[in-house]
Structure 1
Amino acid sequence: MRKRTRRAAAAAVVAGAGLALAACGGSGSGGAGGAAELTISANAVAGGKNTEEAEWIEDWVIPRFEAAQAEAGVEVDVSFEPSGVDDEQYKTRLALDLQAGSGPDILTLDGIWVGEFAQAGYIEPLPEADWEGWRHIPEAVARLATWEGEVYGVPWGTDGRVLFYHKELFARAGLPAEWQPRGWDEVLAAAGQLAELDGVTPLQLNAGTAMGEATTMQGVLPLLAGAGEEIHDGRAWTGASDGLLRVLDLYERVYGGGMGDPVLQQEAQGRDRSFEQFAEGELGILVEGDYFWRAVVDPEGGTAPMENRDEAVGWALIPAAEPGAGVGGQDFVSMSGGSVRAVNAAGDHPELAHELLLFMNSAEALTAAVEGNARITARTDVNERVLAGDPMLSFVADEVLPLTTYRPPLAEYPRVSVLLQEATGAVATGERDAAEAAEDYADGLEDATGGGG
């Protein structure tokens, strides 16, 4: 666990810098030895994985930050450490570097890693600062970078889960073109009407281990939030609770009632196949993230392009089980993922590193990052500009992000996620009923988490 004195010292150093992005300099230098050296790390590489992010860092962030510092009389040399590997490989490599007391000054982390890195002392809470950016980051989104009530970085990109529905199939089934269910029963009622159409799967609710994390993020966790619970309540993991039983019972109703395809849930490429079915007019309702809209059914360049996407695809908020039954008494719920940028607690130039962190998350910087490839950022002011021409992404930014929830940033989470996938898979295939699957999950939870929170 991090030491309080170390954190206080870091806070004092940064507070002395003022963290005024407008000044953008004057808080540190290379001293007699020459330029201060800073490094930025991300799992991105030009021409490969997350190429847009890599190019933005190399071509926009670095030259502009160095120029701004030079104008303020500070000589700084910023470099980028690219990577293009599996996320877990990137995480392991980064953790090993930080454990050795080295590593980059600016880290790009998946939000679910924040707790682990904070507990290890690799990152420290950001000091309080009058940074204009916080006024434009919703409280729900700021939780992506929060651990035990303290903020450890700045979230920069996020997303949201919704119900997508096929308007043409809805019309054929006598369902409204503008649809917003207010409870699970209304979703099932619509699926029941779609079931009357030949060759149509009414509802895709990801289940099983073949779907991987998509089962947890697009299935279990938003439904659990709709039942008024989260998978970790801040103290302990949720076991075979009433909420989890309700979720698994819903899976039983969907797959046992012929409203979903249990075989699809077991296929290695089942999720991709569900995308194709929706695009081909063979699937009515799909629980997915905004990725589906911007990267799957995008008419230009999508993996399952829909020429008539803008006319045929509808979207709605995910309802709680009943109005007011969601977490915090919400009527609607969602789940979001996203990335966080944080500062290496052992860096040589903490003042400059914090200035660079805020510079990278300024409105100007994030606008440049998503130019030509509109996607949801953590900042409402940027979203208002860059998403103005996209009604679906604007809907997520405006309606979903204020009510969304996030996965717990704990090291045990991936193991818990697999247990949830196994439970849903067993129910979807009819191997276990909801109560039995919940009991199996609870038995596995003890081993997966060591019985702790």
Structure 2
Amino acid sequence: MKKSLLSALSLGAVAALVLTGCSAGGADTESKTIKVAYQKFGSFVQVDAHMKAVKKEYEAKHKGVTVELVPIEAQENDYATKLALMNKSAATAPDVMYEDTFRVQSDSDAGYLAPLDDYTSKWTEWDSFYDNAKSAGLGSDGKTYGIPMGTDTRAIWYNKDLFAQAGLPVPFEPKTWQDVLDAAETIKAKLPDVIPLNVYSGKAQGEASSMQGFEMLLYGTKDTLYNADSQKWVTGSKGFRDSLAFIKDVYQGGLGPTPEQALDKNVGNLVSGEWLPQGKLAMGIDGSWLSGTWLEGGTAPWPEWNTVMGQAPMPTQDGGKPGSTSMSGGWTLAMGSKSQNKDAAWDFISMALNKDNSQSYDIAASQIAVRDDVSKDPDYQAANPTFGFFSGIVANTHFRPATSDYAQISTAITVAMEAVMTGQQSVDDAADAYDKTVVGIVGDKNTESAD
């Protein structure tokens, strides 16, 4: 019987599975060193810590094989660019790489990734991964190219102390976008030294802007970005314009950071490491992983975070069903197609994402587990008081279009957002420019009007 992430998140029973690892045989010219590339940026250090721990475990078990860790210190879009450059040459291409799920299709189409089906077919632990989590690692050819590390959801984080000072109700339970904007207006009036609301926006933030900012809005309207049934990109939608209008209200209405602050590539680190812990920001649309920064092993430990911070689902635009919305993503470990020792690379991946190591990483990085044995483990369930909330909103979550051209569409979204937030274009002009860009990317036959 197939498992799904949604169904398992509602279960509280403890499951015990027999966990074993395996390698699929290959005829590669073996190298004594495997190269592992991953992102390390600002307060996001959990992957780095995880890779260091797995390297130590791996080298102790595989005598004579060295794991060369290649942490790439860059914001998400810059990380993807640097990783792509590494993958162009066999001399620099990694054996194992940290791969965003939305890039799996484009990178496998580009020939950067090796299919893993021969390995997963013999790996008994693969059965412990949820089917919809597995699908996040599929290429356009239906083959598996990435093994999921964890997933996430997004919501409104808010400072309960600041809300109380401003006379706003706690818990915060917004039903519409206007409720969120009204709360931000109240913060602005009552606490003028506090930033009312952060919504990631603009080109510098990359996917944080397009997915975590814009798509959190768009999927709360009656429109969508991509019609999965017709396999066409949607242009001319009211929901797209309304989402841009929300961004305009925040940034042109003085309800968010200044555009200069928002366009700083380090703004995410400021949000988690300074603005929220220091009471400088009242609300932020952000991810389930945020509290990982504040845990004892995080980069900015904040013992009081769970007392001070609250979470509220992001409401739909006008309160229509299902009442709230979220976005989910996640990252995988993938194997480089140019690896000279694919068996060793697979052994590293399967060790890094076995039950114990997956659970350790998911707890440290505040990830929603993608293995049923981890999600049901009492230690995982007790590790973070927000796991229940963020798991609970999976029912209303959405995923980015799994197409090879999504990355270019995502960039076009950030361009429209930046034009509106800085006042360079009106909402209508920015939306029209986006529509033209989409047609230029995918062709007119691959778009459809929302009208």
TM range (shorter): 0.7 to 0.9
Structure 1 residue 135 displacement after superposition: 5.6
Kept in 1: contact 2:21–2:350 (CA 8 A): no
SS at match of 2:358: helix
Question: What is the correspondence of 1:124-163 to structure 2 with a 5 Å cutoff?
Answer: 124=115, 126=117, 129=121, 133=125, 136-148=128-140, 151-163=144-156
Kept in 2: contact 1:223–1:247 (CA 8 A): yes
Structure 1 residue 314 displacement after superposition: 0.6
Structure 2 equivalent of residue 54 of structure 1: 51
Structure 2 equivalent of residue 82 of structure 1: 69
Structure 1 residue 147 displacement after superposition: 3.6
* Residue type of the alignment partner of 1:283: L
SS at match of 1:286: strand
* Unmatched 5+ stretches in structure 2: 1-16, 447-451
SS at match of 2:155: strand
Structure 1 residue 335 displacement after superposition: 2.4
CA–CA distance in structure 1, aligned partners of residues 335 and 259 of structure 2: 45
* Residue type of the alignment partner of 2:389: F
Structure 1 equivalent of residue 202 of structure 2: 208
Kept in 2: contact 1:255–1:262 (CA 8 A): yes
> In the superposition, relative to structure 1, how do residues 133 and 22 fare at CA in structure 2: closer, same or farther (>3 Å)?
closer
* Unmatched 5+ stretches in structure 1: 1-19, 67-75
SS at match of 1:96: coil
Kept in 2: contact 1:140–1:405 (CA 8 A): no
SS at match of 2:410: helix
Structure 2 equivalent of residue 118 of structure 1: 108
1:227 to 221, 227, 232: 221
Question: Structure with the greater relative contact order (CA < 8 A, sep ≥ 6): 1 or 2?
Answer: 2
Structure 1 residue 21 displacement after superposition: 8.3
Kept in 1: contact 2:20–2:124 (CA 8 A): no
Structure 1 residue 388 displacement after superposition: 1.5
> In the superposition, relative to structure 1, how do residues 217 and 371 fare at CA in structure 2: closer, same or farther (>3 Å)?
closer
> In the superposition, relative to structure 1, how do residues 131 and 428 fare at CA in structure 2: closer, same or farther (>3 Å)?
same
> In the superposition, relative to structure 1, how do residues 246 and 22 fare at CA in structure 2: closer, same or farther (>3 Å)?
same
Question: What is the correspondence of 1:273-284 to structure 2 with a 5 Å cutoff?
Answer: 274=271, 276-284=274-282
Question: What is the correspondence of 1:355-394 to structure 2 with a 5 Å cutoff?
Answer: 357-369=349-361, 375-383=367-375, 384=377, 385-394=379-388
> In the superposition, relative to structure 1, how do residues 25 and 171 fare at CA in structure 2: closer, same or farther (>3 Å)?
closer
Question: What is the correspondence of 1:255-334 to structure 2 with a 5 Å cutoff?
Answer: 255-264=251-260, 267-268=263-264, 270-272=267-269, 274=271, 276-295=274-293, 297=294, 302-303=299-300, 306=302, 308-323=304-319, 330-334=322-326
> In the superposition, relative to structure 1, how do residues 56 and 172 fare at CA in structure 2: closer, same or farther (>3 Å)?
same
Structure 1 residue 27 displacement after superposition: 5.9
Structure 1 residue 22 displacement after superposition: 5.2
Structure 1 residue 418 displacement after superposition: 2.9
* Residue type of the alignment partner of 2:211: M
Q: Deviations over 1:148-188 (max 9, x none)?
A: 46543321133332211110122123333222323323323
CA–CA distance in structure 1, aligned partners of residues 269 and 343 of structure 2: 46
> Are 2:418 and 1:425 equivalent residues in the alignment?
yes
Structure 1 residue 93 displacement after superposition: 1.2
1:191 to 167, 184, 207: 184
CA–CA distance in structure 2, aligned partners of residues 129 and 324 of structure 1: 43
Kept in 1: contact 2:23–2:346 (CA 8 A): no
After superposition, the CA RMSD in angstroms is: 4.0
- Which stretch has the larger CA shift, 264-273 or 277-286? 264-273
> In the superposition, relative to structure 1, how do residues 394 and 264 fare at CA in structure 2: closer, same or farther (>3 Å)?
farther
> In the superposition, relative to structure 1, how do residues 350 and 294 fare at CA in structure 2: closer, same or farther (>3 Å)?
closer
Relative to the length of structure 1, the TM-score reads 0.74
Q: Deviations over 1:299-333 (max 9, x none)?
A: 87545x656322111112222224555xxxx4432
> Are 2:39 and 1:41 equivalent residues in the alignment?
no
CA–CA distance in structure 2, aligned partners of residues 240 and 403 of structure 1: 25
CA–CA distance in structure 2, aligned partners of residues 23 and 132 of structure 1: 6
* Residue type of the alignment partner of 2:114: I
> In the superposition, relative to structure 1, how do residues 182 and 133 fare at CA in structure 2: closer, same or farther (>3 Å)?
farther
Structure 1 residue 273 displacement after superposition: 5.0
* Residue type of the alignment partner of 1:126: D
Bigger Rg, which one? 1
* Residue type of the alignment partner of 2:221: A
Structure 2 equivalent of residue 93 of structure 1: 86
CA–CA distance in structure 2, aligned partners of residues 261 and 407 of structure 1: 26
